[in-house]
Amino acid sequence: MRNIPVITKNLLIINAIVFIATYIIERAGIDFTSIFGLHFFLAEDFHIYQFVTYQFLHGGFTHIFFNMFALWMFGCVIENVWGPKKFLFYYISCGVGAGVLQELAQLCSFYFTVSAQDPSIGMLDIFAVGDALSRQLNSWTTIGASGAVYAILLAFGMTFPNERIFIFPLPIPVKAKWFVMFYAGIEFFSAMSGPGDNVAHMAHLGGMLFGYLMIRYWNKNPHSGGFGERNNIFGNLKDGFGRQKKNFFSGFGNGRPSSGNDGDVSGRQRFSREDDWEYNERMKARQVETDRILDKIRKSGYDSLTESEKRFLFESGDK
């Protein structure tokens, strides 16, 4: 536990505590899930705070185990790269976004159900019908951290697309980008297959969608969000380990100038006395050092870096 970064560690602890507390409280006759689970917004028991609280509730041991395992496995890496403030903002925001998409999916489902019984009911009439059935709609409740966890999985795939990971029971490693796309495809197919498995597939897709949009925005605006210099560093590096030459996912900048682009022009203006050979050798040496430092972060975390290594990354991110 000492090696787990602070936000990931606290999220694991809070989810475990809430899971145990839910079991104890509901055995005492209090419907904890009904109070803090995310209800359909036309339901009588819906409250806006449920967009956050539902993320810390789980329906059983298997549910919380796999969510927390994925959070530990991928969250540790992403938090070490992004830093705690950015990671927490991303996690909670994507959980809220997952809840929003789930609400929209439930609205569509409710409309099609009602219109199938009475074709004269239009979309504007559905709110009046929902108000009349608000008590019955309380049964539509969503719980779980899956939406936020799927967003963390997406962040790993976009940050380290070519990093190989093992998936049980496959005997060979799979690149992270294919792993993420495989899971997204399963969720999309499951969502389109219709309800029946009691799983909020649209919430999973919603977390990934909001995560994708957020990461794309951060990479285009590396100084936005007030997350400090670390956001600027890693938003400008091509991928988290610095070893891949091309990224399957778009939106990640290249940390070094190449021949013929604006970065090369600015570099030539700054080091006008260098010839081509010297310039290329200096860029190659800088890239080798960047690779070494990012490998160190992957193995031991950001806090293991020396002050000179951190300063090197800060300077590299501004190039």
How much is the pLDDT for 56? 96
What Cα–Cα distance (Å) separates residue 311 from each residue in 142, 223, 252, 317, 318? 45, 17, 22, 10, 11
pLDDT tens for the chain, residues 1 to 319: 678 999 999 999 999 999 999 999 988 888 989 999 999 999 999 999 999 999 999 989 999 999 999 999 899 999 999 999 999 999 999 999 999 999 998 898 888 888 888 888 877 788 888 888 889 899 899 999 999 999 999 999 998 888 887 776 667 788 888 888 887 887 777 777 665 556 777 888 899 999 999 999 998 887 665 565 454 444 444 444 443 334 334 333 344 333 334 443 344 344 344 455 666 677 777 777 877 877 777 666 666 778 787 777 666 644 5
Contact 249, 161 (CB under 8 A): yes
Residue 284 DSSP SS3:
helix
Q: Dihedral of the CA atoms 215, 218, 7, 299 (nearest 10)?
A: 80
What is the fold of 6-220? Rhomboid-like fold (1.20.1540)
What long-range pairs does 302-307 form, CB within 8 A, spacing at least 24? 302/80, 302/81, 302/83, 302/230
Residues of the chain with CATH 1.20.1540.10: 6-220
How much is the pLDDT for 276? 59
Burial class (CB in 10 A: 0-12, 13-18, 19+), 201: buried
How much is the pLDDT for 243? 39
Model's pTM, two decimal places?
0.69
How much is the pLDDT for 314? 64
